Amino acid sequence: MLKIIWIILSLVLIGLIFLRTPQNQGLASFSTKSNLLGSPSSAEQFLNNLTIVLMILYFSFAIYLNLVS
């Protein structure tokens, strides 16, 4: 069960990292004009915090699964 959660978590992290808009490049001007998630800075801060939390969970699962097996 934990391996399934770990695999899903890794896929979500990969998707989240690839879907982020680049800083000061092509889509950055579009992201500053969109108000779907509130202000761009608060949405970016939320995505940064979410990425950090998911990375900590991912590495915790990886360490635990490595110690158990």
State pTM to two decimals: 0.67
Give the position of tokens 């998707």.
Answer: 15
- For the chain, the structural domain boundaries read 1-6+37-69
**What whole-number distance in Å separates Cα of residue 5 and Cα of residue 54?**
12
d(CA 16, CA 12): 6
**CA-only gyration radius of the chain, Å:** 15
What are the pLDDT tens digits along the chain (69 aa)? 888 998 999 999 998 888 776 655 555 555 555 545 555 678 788 888 999 999 999 999 999 999 987
Buried b (16+ CB within 10 A) or exposed e, 9-24: beeebeeeeeeebeee
